[in-house]
């Protein structure tokens, strides 16, 4: 067993994902991620911590679509960490999560250049939340200024809330007690989150599946996101 207290891991079942993007919307709402707009997206300035990659297979009329949710892979050997000149990103030995310190970041974008998953986002503008969107801001998450890097955090505010509650009640964090916004919103239960150090947890059992694989595993990044191969694709 790992020496780390927790190995928070995300399992994504590609056989269940329908590409509805409910997870993307939930991520925006939970983490105060502003909407960039169509013009900025055309310039490659989309603001999504989580995106749905879509791949097409076959020929019409037997055209099939496959969907792959893509976020920060929370690599244990993250290529983004050693290139940061101000140590704004580092690996948490407690949560096994790649941390981003917004107040320390100076926006060099070296981490984005070194990320093989294209999972880091540069905040080009001061965020705007026109009414009534300003009423839904999450008080547990800071609203980031322009000129810094952002990324998925596995909803670390939820992780820490569960850990603090368990510590106050003098017990271990229960399996299923931590649910990131993407997993909570998924209508097909494609996302499963939990502690890989707990052999009885749902993620530990799914991680032993023969369908498991990790993206760009040959790079040795040791991602904390595990995908389960899909079977028949969805017909588009």
pTM to 2 decimals?
0.89
With respect to residue 37, please indicate whether it lies within any of the assigned structural domains.
yes
Residue-wise pLDDT for 28-78, tens only, equals: 999 999 888 788 888 888 889 999 999 888 888 888 888 999 999 999 999
pLDDT, tens digit, 9 for 90 and up, residues 155-212? 999 999 999 999 999 999 999 999 999 999 999 999 999 999 999 999 999 999 999 9
Q: Which residue has the tokens 């990103």?
A: 89
The total domain count for the chain is 1
Say if 161 falls within a structural domain: yes
Q: How far is it, in rounded angstroms, from Cα 103 to Cα 144?
A: 9
Residue 114 lies in a domain: yes
3-class secondary structure, 106: coil
* 230 in any annotated domain: yes
Give CA–CA dist 112/67, Å, rounded: 23
Structure tokens at 127: 């965020």
Domain that holds residue 58: 8-235
Contact of 228 with 188, CB cutoff 8 Å: no
The CATH number of residue 150's host domain is: 3.30.70.20
Question: Which residues partner with 69 through β-bridges?
Answer: 52
């Amino acid at each position: 067993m790992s020496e780390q207290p927790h190995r928070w891991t995300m399992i994504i079942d590609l056989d269940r994902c329908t590409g509805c993007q409910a997870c993307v919307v939930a991520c925006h709402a939970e983490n105060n991620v502003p909407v960039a707009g169509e013009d900025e997206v055309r310039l490659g300035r989309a603001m999504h911590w989580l995106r749905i990659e879509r791949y097409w297979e076959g020929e019409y009329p037997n055209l099939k679509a496959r969907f792959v949710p893509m976020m920060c892979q929370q690599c244990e050997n993250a290529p983004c960490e050693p290139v940061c000149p101000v140590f704004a990103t580092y690996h948490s030995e407690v949560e096994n999560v790649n941390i981003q310190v917004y107040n320390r970041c100076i926006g060099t974008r070296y981490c984005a250049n070194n990320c093989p998953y294209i999972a880091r986002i540069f905040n080009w503008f001061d965020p705007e939340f026109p009414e009534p969107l300003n009423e839904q801001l999450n008080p547990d998450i800071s609203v980031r200024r322009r000129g810094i890097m952002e990324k998925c955090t596995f909803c670390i505010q939820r992780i820490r809330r569960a850990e603090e509650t368990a510590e106050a009640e003098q017990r271990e964090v229960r399996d299923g007690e931590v649910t990131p916004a993407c997993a909570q919103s998924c209508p097909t239960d494609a996302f499963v989150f939990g502690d890989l150090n707990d052999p009885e947890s749902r993620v530990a059992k799914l991680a032993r599946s023969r369908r498991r694989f990790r993206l760009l595993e040959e790079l040795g990044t040791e991602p904390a996101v595990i995908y389960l191969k899909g079977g028949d694709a969805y017909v588009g």
